[in-house]
């Protein structure tokens, strides 16, 4: 295992272990799922937000080695980090191209998203100056976030093309691909397909066409014949985009969070625990202290709900989760300082998942893994 991203390294009794073999396996499973009737779209590994908290550089390298051909990031600076690590694969910046950031794109060979009029103006200026930036046009088919409406998209594409902009792709993003009811997602795909045909009608036949995120790969693959690229994020990390898609593919969660007991307190009945004295022991008990808190991404919203695994059994986190520590009630169990604790992952027959954390804190697994802070050292098991 190698460490990454924290100068404290092994001094910290808390670590996120990222299984790069799981990233590779998940990449291959997603590629297989996206392939249909001889049609095999290429796979863009979405590694924005530092690889959804897993570490963008090692995740990108593992996904590329397993067959991904593109990378996707949110910000040009995230793309620069990958280039500085020696990664040469095409990188699409999913955020809207901003003229003030043009230098990042042409100095580091990043692919831009054309999604606004100032973006178009900036790309026309860059093209006029002879700066070749590959561009994917974003079409808003119903997400109402970034992109031109289908009607505008054709006009914008023509303007860009006439101005010498290197239009290389076109894409849209689905708002409800993870829903059980796929009606709206299918409507979006129909609109996107119509836009592709309209572009073609104007002589604009773009090499890259894409719409599918993890959920679409899992449940809408049949509808994607015209697309030749899919953009996989959450499933790459072994997590399901929504609870009903948990068992669709055989995905393996890549992240495990481990810590250890740093203090053991023997308390009588009626003792209070933590800030606000919100927990009172109901009998003589052992409270253990763990060196993990909300500054690590162990969010305070999980107070009084979370559980951890110690010696293969689940124990409740009690009292309010602090910034750097939390407390666990182990009842009469004997326990030593240094005993390993799993916060997320498997121990014995038990497992705690990012989805459990999400349920305890009222959010989605995406936010959980992105929220594991930089203070937590990342350890990598190699492919
Ligand atoms: C434009 C775009 N494409 C693809 C993805 C990947 O989505 P998912 O993580 O659901 O696979 C995202 C994630 O937010 C995105 O914003």
Q: Which of 48, 52, 61, 315 is catalytic?
A: 48
Mean pLDDT of the chain: 94
Check which CATH number belongs to the domain holding 51 and give it: 3.20.20.10
Tell whether the model's pLDDT for residue 273 goes beyond 70: yes
How confident is the model over 164-176, as pLDDT tens digits? 999 999 999 999 9
- How far, in Å, from the CA of 163 to the mean position of ligand 1? 30
pLDDT level of residue 39 (50, 70, 90 thresholds): confident
Domain boundary among 213, 239, 265: 239
Identify the pLDDT of residue 286. Answer: 97
Identify the pLDDT of residue 226. Answer: 85
**CA distance linking residue 298 with residue 371, whole number of Å:** 8
- Is-contact 19 254, C-beta < 8 A? yes
> pTM for the whole thing?
0.95
Assess whether 227 and 87 both reside in one domain.
Answer: yes
Assess whether 229 and 269 both reside in one domain.
Answer: no
Identify the pLDDT of residue 224. Answer: 61
Q: How many structural domains are present in the chain?
A: 2
Q: Which of 32, 40, 84, 275 is catalytic?
A: 275
Pocket of ligand 1 (CB under 6 A): 46, 94, 173, 213-215, 231-235, 241
Work out which ligand 1 atom sits closest to the CA atom of 52. Answer: 9
> How many other C-beta atoms can be found within 10 angstroms of the C-beta atom of residue 181?
8
Tell whether the model's pLDDT for residue 275 goes beyond 90: yes
Domain membership of residue 135 (yes or no) is yes
How confident is the model over 313-357, as pLDDT tens digits? 999 999 999 999 999 999 999 999 999 999 999 999 999 999 999
Domain membership of residue 101 (yes or no) is yes
Domain membership of residue 363 (yes or no) is no
- Sign, CA torsion 63/72/179/363: positive
pLDDT level of residue 223 (50, 70, 90 thresholds): low
Identify the pLDDT of residue 382. Answer: 78
Containing domain of residue 59, as a range? Answer: 20-239
Assess whether 280 and 154 both reside in one domain.
Answer: no
48 in catalytic set: yes
Tell whether the model's pLDDT for residue 8 goes beyond 50: no
> How many other C-beta atoms can be found within 10 angstroms of the C-beta atom of residue 109?
15
Domain membership of residue 245 (yes or no) is no
- How far, in Å, from the CA of 240 to the mean position of ligand 1? 13
- Average pLDDT over every residue of 66-74: 98
pLDDT level of residue 6 (50, 70, 90 thresholds): very low
Assess whether 225 and 272 both reside in one domain.
Answer: no
Assess whether 271 and 230 both reside in one domain.
Answer: no
How confident is the model over 245-260, as pLDDT tens digits? 988 899 999 999 999 9
pLDDT level of residue 144 (50, 70, 90 thresholds): very high
Domain boundary among 239, 267, 283: 239
For residue 261, give Cα distances in angstroms to 78, 291, 336, 337, 353. 36, 8, 7, 5, 20
128, with CB counted inside 10 A (0-12, 13-18, 19+), is: exposed
Identify the pLDDT of residue 366. Answer: 98
Check which CATH number belongs to the domain holding 293 and give it: 2.40.37.10
- Average pLDDT over every residue of 216-228: 80
- How far, in Å, from the CA of 383 to the mean position of ligand 1? 24
Question: What 3-state class would DSSP assign to 226?
Answer: coil
């Amino acid at each position: 295992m190698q460490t990454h991203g924290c100068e404290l390294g092994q001094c910290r009794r808390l670590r996120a272990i990222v299984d790069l073999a799981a990233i590779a396996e998940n990449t291959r499973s997603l590629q297989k799922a996206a392939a249909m009737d001889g049609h095999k779209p290429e796979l863009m590994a979405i590694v924005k937000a530092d690889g959804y908290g897993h570490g963008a550089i090692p995740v990108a390298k593992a996904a590329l080695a397993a067959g991904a051909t593109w990378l996707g990031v949110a910000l040009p600076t995230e793309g620069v980090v990958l280039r500085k690590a020696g990664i040469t694969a095409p990188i699409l910046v999913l955020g809207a191209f901003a003229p003030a950031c043009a230098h990042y794109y042409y100095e580091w060979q990043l692919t831009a998203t054309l999604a606004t009029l100032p973006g178009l103006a900036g790309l026309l200026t860059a093209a006029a100056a002879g700066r070749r930036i590959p561009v994917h046009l974003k079409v808003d088919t119903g997400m109402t976030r970034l992109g031109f409406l289908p009607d505008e998209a054709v006009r914008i594409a023509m303007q860009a093309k006439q101005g010498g902009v290197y239009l290389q792709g076109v894409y849209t993003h689905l708002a409800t691909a993870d829903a059980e009811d796929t009606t709206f997602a299918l409507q979006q795909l129909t609109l996107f397909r119509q836009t592709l045909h309209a572009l073609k009608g104007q002589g604009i036949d773009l090499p890259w066409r894409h719409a599918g995120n993890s959920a679409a790969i899992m449940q809408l693959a049949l509808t994607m014949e015209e697309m030749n690229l899919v953009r996989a994020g959450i499933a790459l990390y072994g997590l399901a985009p929504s609870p009903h898609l948990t068992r669709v593919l055989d995905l393996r969660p890549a992240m495990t969070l481990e810590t250890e007991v740093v203090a053991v307190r023997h308390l009588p009945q009626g003792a209070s625990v933590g800030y606000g004295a919100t927990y009172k022991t109901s009998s003589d008990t052992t409270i253990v202290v763990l060196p993990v808190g909300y500054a690590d991404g162990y969010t305070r919203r999980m107070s009084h709900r979370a559980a951890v695994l110690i010696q293969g059994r689940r124990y409740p986190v009690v009292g309010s989760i602090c910034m750097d520590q939390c407390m666990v009630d182990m009842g009469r169990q004997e326990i030593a300082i240094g005993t390993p604790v799993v916060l997320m992952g498997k121990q014995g027959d038990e497992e705690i998942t990012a989805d459990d954390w999400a349920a305890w804190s009222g959010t989605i697994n995406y936010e959980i893994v992105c929220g594991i802070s930089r203070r937590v050292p990342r350890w990598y098991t190699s492919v």
